[in-house]
Amino acid sequence: MNILAVIPARSGSKSIPDKNIREINGKPMLCYSIEHAKKSKYINRIILSTDSVKYAKIGESYGAEVPFIRPEQYATDTALDIDVFYHCLDFLKKKEGYHADIVVHLRPTYPIRDTKDIDAMIEIIMNDAKIDSVRSISPAKEIPYKMWLQEKDGFISPVIKDIKECYNMPRQELPKVYYQNACIDVIRGDVILEQRSMSGSNIFGYIMHKNFDIDTEEEFLKAEKYLKISSGGKRFVFDIDGVIAKITKDNNYSLAEPNEPMINIINRLYSMGNEIILFTARGYVTGIDWSEITQKQLKSWGVKYHELHFGKPNADYYIDDRSLLIDDLFELFS
């Protein structure tokens, strides 16, 4: 099958100027999407659709094709995705006789993706002829059942009207709601060319719980922090008590229980190629030797690490029970 990845990268971003080629962790933003497509076991062609010769040269240097410079009318703030994609597929059909069976839409504002998600979504559409498209979705924090429309006279009416007084119902009793996170869309080529649609009628939802779309400076910095850490080579030093282990009464460490969410994050950092150093002040005041018990606990809890210190070594990052970085790690990796 002809499975085409299209990365649309126009040059006129206003929120972050030239954000599609802004360097993030040492590489232009759009290059990450090219790399994601290259890692897929199904995608066999990658095209960058851009209105900029400068962007085109960058895209080509990372392995994307740029068979055209996108016409100006398809590179405005108000240009629709369908116009951009129809232009691309129509150009390839007329110029080369090429027809894309499946099109993978990878927005360049997502420098962080798991290629397994791309391939899983392609497999879903390949294995079910009834599906017109697969769209990545995430659980919505705000739900439409509690939302209102306001008239000019100040009166409000509920957005959702098919559930009686849903705005008065407990959140737990309402249907789960998802929003399209714009990370990955997979569409049949015929749907784009024949129906002139980016979705068709039968849309399958692929659930993601994490996404890193960049539209603000804050989101850019968050994604850059993730990329720096996930690329490995950093030295993390974790305190044991209050971080890896829950605080115990009267410092009786033999009764310590594991903090499993944090252990999961530590193991992820380890698997990314970071150096994990553990330290503890156990016995520093009392003189009691807790080394054997501590090592047995870490082993039974499944903690992956490189060194254990009964003291405080040098590091790139220190994570103890008073560290603000704990919140960052949970936000980025949990």
Q: Which tens digit of pLDDT belongs to each residue from 21-48?
A: 999 999 999 999 999 999 999 999 999 9
113/40 Cα distance (integer angstroms): 11
Amino acid letter for position 80: L
Provide φ and ψ at 56, rounded to 5°.
-60, -45
Kindly give the confidence (pLDDT) of every residue in the chain, 334 residues in length, as a single tens digit, with 9 standing for 90 and above: 999 999 999 997 666 778 899 999 999 999 999 999 999 999 999 999 999 999 999 999 999 999 999 999 998 888 999 999 999 999 999 999 999 999 999 999 999 999 999 999 999 999 999 999 999 999 998 899 999 999 999 999 999 999 999 999 998 899 999 999 999 999 999 999 999 999 999 999 999 987 788 888 888 888 998 999 999 999 999 999 999 999 888 888 999 999 999 999 999 999 999 999 999 988 877 888 999 999 999 999 999 999 999 876 666 777 766 565 777 788 888 7
Q: CB under 8 Å, gap of 24 or more: what pairs does 19-28 form? A: 19/109, 19/214, 19/220, 20/55, 20/108, 20/109, 21/54, 21/55, 21/58, 22/220, 24/111, 24/220, 24/223, 24/224, 24/227, 25/111, 25/224, 25/227, 25/228, 25/231, 28/58, 28/62
Using CA atoms, how far residue 99 sits from 3, 4, 95, 106, in Å, is 9, 9, 11, 19
Provide φ and ψ at 151, rounded to 5°.
-85, 170
Which two structure tokens, joined as six digits, stand for 196?
Answer: 């002139």
48/28 Cα distance (integer angstroms): 14
pLDDT of residue 287: 84
Which two structure tokens, joined as six digits, stand for 130?
Answer: 């009834």
Q: Which of 96, 121, 168, 148 is nearest to 3 (CA)?
A: 121
User: Contact 306/276 with Cβ under 8 angstroms?
Assistant: yes
pLDDT of residue 323: 62
pLDDT of residue 315: 63
170/107 Cα distance (integer angstroms): 36
Q: Which of 281, 275, 282 is nearest to 315 (CA)?
A: 275
Q: Which of 210, 200, 192 is nearest to 89 (CA)?
A: 192
pLDDT of residue 16: 72
User: Contact 185/104 with Cβ under 8 angstroms?
Assistant: yes
pLDDT of residue 284: 77
β-strand partners of 49: 8
2/81 Cα distance (integer angstroms): 20
Q: Are strands 45-49 and 3-8 parallel, antiparallel or unpaired?
A: parallel
Q: Which of 228, 328, 272 is nearest to 24 (CA)?
A: 228
Burial degree of 136 (CB within 10 A; 0-12, 13-18, 19+):
buried
Q: Are strands 203-207 and 307-309 parallel, antiparallel or unpaired?
A: unpaired
* Domains parsed from the chain with CATH numbers: 3-140+177-216 (3.90.550.10), 142-172 (no CATH), 232-333 (3.40.50.1000)
